[in-house]
């Protein structure tokens, strides 16, 4: 599972983000240590449907999640019917006192060179292959690929705290910068999946108040080891991507 503007990747072409060389400010980067319990290793297959500038698209996404012996790896591959593979994201690292501790995040977009975020534990910095920004490593930082699985691990360890209105913040690195992601619990809902109807906890991640961006909605299913069973990405212009679980293969 990967939080990234998939809607843009489903288009025929992608626009590169403008990069402004800078040392990143360190506000809104608190250190939070929470109990966690990693989800079991599994392959998760999702169907995708989307609307892009009035055009309906479909596809499939597969998340390959592995955790054990103090390490983890996560590979998420997305394919669209018209374009083939349009997105590949990898996150690898260890497990420390904060939970997932990424070492490297790699994102390969459709017809673009791969971009990386490196979590340099020796120098305690996050650096990027695109741009000059860097951020301090304090503990608990995530990348776009690992963030949902860290959230899942926290929910598995303390499900009683995931009540409507509660908020869960993480500092998340992407292709060329990092920012706070705040997930807010909405309520329990019934979601139709390839596994049948399941009860899932609905959370939402809105863009920062001072920025434009996608709203992301996420449904975690307690009865299915809190795996994400549905994710939607919605833009102000009405474009969207909906990702729904079809199959879980435990490893």
CA 8, distance to chain mean position in Å, is 16
- At 107-146, the pLDDT tens digits run 998 888 899 999 999 999 999 999 899 999 999 999 999 9
Mean pLDDT value of segment 70-80: 94
CB 2 within 8 A of CB 144: yes
User: Has residue 97 been placed in a domain?
Assistant: yes
User: Has residue 246 been placed in a domain?
Assistant: yes
The pLDDT, as a whole number, for residue 4 is: 45
CATH code, domain with 37: 2.40.360
User: Has residue 230 been placed in a domain?
Assistant: yes
User: pLDDT band for position 28 (50/70/90)?
Assistant: low
Residue 137 CA to residue 151 CA, distance in Å, equals: 19
Provide Rg for the chain, Cα atoms. 17
User: Has residue 227 been placed in a domain?
Assistant: yes
User: pLDDT band for position 5 (50/70/90)?
Assistant: very low
The residue range of the domain holding 169 is 6-13+30-250
CA angle 47, 50, 112 (to 5 degrees): 90
User: pLDDT band for position 234 (50/70/90)?
Assistant: confident
pLDDT at 207 over 80: no
User: Has residue 206 been placed in a domain?
Assistant: yes
Looking at the structure of the chain, the number of domains it has is 1
User: pLDDT band for position 55 (50/70/90)?
Assistant: confident
**pTM of this prediction?**
0.86
The pLDDT, as a whole number, for residue 21 is: 30
Q: 3-state class of 25 per DSSP? A: coil
The pLDDT, as a whole number, for residue 95 is: 98
The pLDDT, as a whole number, for residue 221 is: 98
Q: What is the DSSP string of 82-131?
A: TTEEEEEEEEEEEEETTEEEEEEEEEEETTS--EEEEEETTTTEEEESSS
pLDDT at 161 over 90: yes
Tell me what percent of the residues of the chain surpass a pLDDT of 90: 64
User: Given the structure tokens 């434009």, which residue do they identify?
Assistant: 212
CA 163, distance to chain mean position in Å, is 21
pLDDT at 241 over 80: yes
Residue 233 CA to residue 100 CA, distance in Å, equals: 24
User: Has residue 25 been placed in a domain?
Assistant: no
User: Has residue 19 been placed in a domain?
Assistant: no
User: pLDDT band for position 190 (50/70/90)?
Assistant: very high
pLDDT at 19 over 50: no
User: Has residue 44 been placed in a domain?
Assistant: yes
């Amino acid at each position: 599972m990967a939080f990234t503007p998939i809607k843009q990747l489903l288009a025929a072409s992608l626009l590169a983000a403008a990069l402004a060389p800078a040392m990143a400010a360190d506000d809104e980067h608190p250190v939070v240590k929470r109990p966690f319990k990693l989800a079991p290793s599994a392959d998760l297959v999702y169907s995708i449907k989307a609307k892009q500038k009035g055009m309906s698209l479909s596809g499939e996404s597969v998340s390959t999640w592995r955790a054990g012996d103090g390490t983890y790896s996560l590979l998420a591959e997305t394919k669209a019917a018209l374009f083939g593979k349009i997105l590949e994201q990898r996150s690898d690292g260890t497990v420390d006192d904060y939970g997932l501790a990424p070492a490297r995040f790699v994102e390969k977009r459709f017809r673009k060179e791969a971009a990386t975020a490196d979590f340099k534990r020796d120098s305690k910095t996050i650096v990027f292959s695109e741009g000059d920004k860097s951020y301090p490593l304090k503990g608990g930082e995530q990348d776009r690929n690992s963030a949902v699985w860290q959230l899942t691990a926290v929910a598995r360890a303390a499900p009683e705290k995931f009540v409507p209105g509660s908020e869960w913040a993480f500092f998340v690195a992407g292709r060329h910068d990092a920012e706070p992601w705040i997930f807010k619990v909405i309520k329990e809902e019934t979601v139709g999946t390839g596994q049948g109807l399941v009860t899932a906890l609905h959370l939402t991640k809105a863009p920062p108040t001072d920025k434009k961006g996608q709203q992301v909605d996420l449904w975690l299913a307690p009865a299915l080891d809190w795996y994400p069973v549905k994710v939607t990405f919605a833009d102000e212009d009405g474009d969207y991507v909906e990702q729904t679980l079809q199959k879980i293969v435990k490893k």
